[in-house]
Amino acid sequence: MPETPDGLIHPQLHINSYGYYLRRRFGLRVSKVNVDAGFTCPNRDGSKGIGGCIYCNNVSFSPKDTKSIVPMEEQMEAGMAYHRLRLGSKKFIIYFQKYTNTYGSVKLLSDIYRRALKHPDVIGISVGTRPDSLSDEALDLLSELAQTKYVCLELGLQSMDDGTLKRINRGHTLDDFIAAVHRAAGRNLDLCSHLICGFPGETAQQFMDTADLMAKLPVDSVKLHQLHAVEGTELADMYRRGEFVPLSLQAYIETAADFIERLPQHISIQRLYGSAPLDIAVAPRWGLKNNQMWFAIVNELTRRGSWQGCKI
């Protein structure tokens, strides 16, 4: 087992958490503030597909105050006020989260990103997108902004199995993701990969293999969460038909801990769980608050006496 390096792994959390990484990098507490800039998705408007991914209902992971009908600057102010009060945050990263946030003209993207970066307390942006919706022009724009501001590019992979990607109606392949990562590498961008555990037909070992893939790529951070069904999705219908059996809480905790043990220590962890408002959550319904879910996994690492990267 490798020794825990000073400065990377949080001594109590046993992982290189993203919050810990941001504090090391910027020297103060930084929070991400979600905004809805009114984008759609090529997997919804017909250019790649219709209906979106079988699990996708953006209401399930978006703060209630982030709606595209609300001017972006108002969304930013509301989010920053919340994090200042709750966490004492001093600086902020504006997170373009809903749908595909590079899916538009470069002129549109430039206007939206630069408006966010104008605020004196905003140190950067985080842009969520798909690996097949990242034009050279969009990459050039992000690279330009990254010369003076922090820029994180978040690419949704979800599964490295092409069969799964087809079944969940993702509309892209593993090769598309790998190609996008390599195209974005070396441009002063932080690269984040989104991954989901618990797809029907996939095993825990396949999720472990994803940790090995992340180790081979120039990825700076990851987001993990369990597959969960929410109202208004095909996955919710599958659950009611008995075609989707969610992971148990203990199975997810153990699999996430196994994954972390195989994840290199230089890759920070932005997320360890997924949640949804109770009024639209279908399954699983574990009854844990967000911080309780986070510490359930941290406590498992503590119980094992292990930490991120110890099984490499």
pLDDT in tens, 125-176: 999 999 999 999 999 999 999 999 999 999 999 999 999 999 999 999 999 9
Our count of domains for the chain comes to 1
Domain annotation covers residue 50 = yes
Q: Does residue 68 register a pLDDT over 90? A: no
pLDDT of residue 47: 79
Specify if 87 maps to a domain. yes
Answer yes or no: is 10 within a domain: no
Q: Give the confidence band of 67 by pLDDT, cuts at 50, 70, 90.
A: low
State the alpha helices, DSSP H only, in the chain.
18-26, 72-87, 106-117, 136-145, 162-167, 174-184, 204-216, 234-240, 249-261, 290-304
Q: What is the pLDDT of residue 50?
A: 79
Percent of the chain with pLDDT over 90: 85
Answer whether residue 230 is part of any domain.
Answer: no
Could you tell me the CATH number of the domain that includes residue 50? 3.20.20.70
Whether residue 204 lies inside any domain: the answer is yes
Q: Between 142 and 57, where is the model more confident?
A: 142
pLDDT for position 120: 97
Mention every residue, 6+ apart, whose C-beta is less than 8 A from residue 269.
15, 16, 17, 18, 221, 222, 223, 224, 260, 263, 308
